[in-house]
Amino acid sequence: MGRKLLLEHIDVPGINTFDVYRQQGGYRAVEKALKTMSPEDVVEEVKKSGLRGRGGAGFPTGMKWGFLAKPEGVPRYLVCNGDESEPGTFKDRYLMTHIPHILVEGMIVSSFALGANTSYIYIRGEMMPQIRIVEKAIAEAKAAGFLGKNILGTGYDLEIYVQPGGGAYICGEETALLESLEGKRGNPRIKPPFPAIAGLYGCPTVVNNVESIAATVPIINDGGEEYAKIGIERSTGTKLISASGNIIRPGVYEIDLGLPVEEFIYSDEYCGGIANSKKLKALVPGGSSVPILPANLISKTVNGNARLMTYESLADGGFATGSSMGSGGFIVFDEDQCIVRNTWNFARFYHHESCGQCSPCREGTGWMEKILHKIETGRGSIEDIDLLWDIQRRIEGNTICPLGDAAAWPVAAAIRHFRDEFEWHITHPQEALSRNYGLAHYADPIEPVV
């Protein structure tokens, strides 16, 4: 049974209101932090917890906070990244819809730790209903004295505002998000300087994902050491996993990090197995950017170890035979799904979402989309596969922000693991139009590398 730290009270009626959330022990972390701890103490607890950024990069949150510059007389900002747009990821929407107060509570605790007196929650514009829900939660918290001037008589002042995005995946990249929050196009900035030195309005700024900020609440309530007891190695605590695709029970699940991937897919407590009695073909475990895994690399790593839901185990084998935790966008493919079509779909996504600043990404994502579409529609040649490989290789690492990498990785992984499916599309164009390649040998056990 997974421990529930964030979703503990998800089934309590009215938990989206201040009163019910408070009755369930809500805002204790604010009382504890503001009344009994110094900002440095709060940062220390988050460092001890081992919490890693839940947006996708997995960078230790406490360390990120530690980098924040604190020049005299310059305001500091906390900006929450609620621009959830990574295909396969819908956990932040879920959290904000059902338990908005845990985000507001986490914002207060985190802002206090960073010495911010104005904080912004940037939520993607399409989530208008969630924007209203979070705005209402902020108003309720303010009416109860947990926001505004002199919070709980401690002398600490804080205002939180919600900022809507305009519909752009790139604004999930933290410097693009800051540009957008300043009322500009979401073009990522060249780093350095990092936001911790010069972020919003040129001031020191921390940008954290919704789930990361919410996680500070149980960390402060129970202590960082207690949080770090959950999980394995450097994957501590619980994680929200967004499960989608061809499974019986899609949805958002809070798991203890360290859960076996096989159990997550087949247990009735989580995904419940593959829908319609089909077989498992492939898995994208961390959102569309991370490498796709064929069936034989899902339950076990190439060395034969059980594959676990941890940052380390999902990445075991590097990009050759592993993948990445990413944002926890867990997309399951059954035997009927076409890898070429899906890769084309993702390539189209990245082409559409490229901001256009860097040529390798602006041009390369478009080329990849065109070539993949050509292969998918039966007009490809064998040379196109090598060309695709060449293009993705020239995008990766050659752009200002990671969108270029995010576009390159899924194409590279699809070719690496499913090259025969691409070749079949090219050699059997008519057949490829009417049916899918199926499972082939992907489920066969592979020889361990000794």
Partner 1 sequence: MLSVKENHPVEFSAELLDKFAEVASRYPQGKQKSALLPLLHLVQAEYGWLSTDAMDKVAHFLQIEPIEVYEVATFYTMYFLRPQGKYNLEICRTGPCCLVGAERIMQYIEETLGVKEGEVTADGLFSWRGVECLAACGYGPVLQIGPDYTFYENLTEQSVAQLIETLKNKVQTEA
Distance in Å, CB of 220 to partner 1, minimum: 27
Shorter beta-carbon distance to partner 1: residue 45 or 84? 84
Query: Cβ neighbours of residue 443 under 8 Å, at least 6 residues apart?
Result: 279, 280, 281, 295, 296
Q: Which residues share a beta bridge with 242? A: 252, 329
Q: Is omega for the bond preceding 192 within 30 degrees of 0, making it cis? A: yes
Distance in Å, CB of 143 to partner 1, minimum: 17
Distance in Å, CB of 115 to partner 1, minimum: 16
137, containing H or E segment? helix 128-143
Distance in Å, CB of 169 to partner 1, minimum: 7
| Closest residue by Cα to residue 210 from 91, 115, 46, 108 | 91
- Residues in touch with partner 1 (CB under 8 A): 75, 84-90, 92-93, 118, 124-129, 161, 163-169, 180-186, 201, 242-246, 250-252, 288, 329, 331, 333, 337, 341-342, 345-346, 349, 352-353, 355
Shorter beta-carbon distance to partner 1: residue 111 or 180? 180
Distance in Å, CB of 16 to partner 1, minimum: 16
* Residue type at 115 in one-letter notation: G
Shorter beta-carbon distance to partner 1: residue 25 or 129? 129
Distance in Å, CB of 353 to partner 1, minimum: 6
Shorter beta-carbon distance to partner 1: residue 291 or 329? 329
**293-294 vs 280-284, strand pairing mode:** antiparallel
Question: Do the Cβ atoms of 371 and 384 come closer than 8 Å?
Answer: yes
Shorter beta-carbon distance to partner 1: residue 129 or 145? 129
Distance in Å, CB of 25 to partner 1, minimum: 28
3-state secondary structure of 241: strand
Question: Do the Cβ atoms of 237 and 229 come closer than 8 Å?
Answer: no
Question: Do the Cβ atoms of 212 and 223 come closer than 8 Å?
Answer: no
Question: Do the Cβ atoms of 399 and 361 come closer than 8 Å?
Answer: yes
Shorter beta-carbon distance to partner 1: residue 36 or 276? 276
Shorter beta-carbon distance to partner 1: residue 16 or 244? 244
Query: Cβ neighbours of residue 200 under 8 Å, at least 6 residues apart?
Result: 77, 79, 120, 178, 181, 182
Distance CA 349, CA 135 (A): 30
Residue 395 — φ and ψ, nearest 5°?
Answer: -80, -45
Distance in Å, CB of 403 to partner 1, minimum: 13
Distance in Å, CB of 412 to partner 1, minimum: 16
Distance CA 255, CA 270 (A): 9
Helices (H), 223-255: 224-228
Question: Do the Cβ atoms of 339 and 347 come closer than 8 Å?
Answer: no
Question: Do the Cβ atoms of 6 and 253 come closer than 8 Å?
Answer: no
Query: Cβ neighbours of residue 124 under 8 Å, at least 6 residues apart?
Result: 82, 83, 84, 85, 164, 165, 167, 171
Structure tokens, 61? 């949150």
Question: Do the Cβ atoms of 237 and 230 come closer than 8 Å?
Answer: yes
Distance in Å, CB of 315 to partner 1, minimum: 21
Shorter beta-carbon distance to partner 1: residue 206 or 210? 210
Shorter beta-carbon distance to partner 1: residue 235 or 342? 342
**280-284 vs 329-334, strand pairing mode:** antiparallel
Distance in Å, CB of 72 to partner 1, minimum: 17
Shorter beta-carbon distance to partner 1: residue 16 or 85? 85
Shorter beta-carbon distance to partner 1: residue 21 or 330? 330
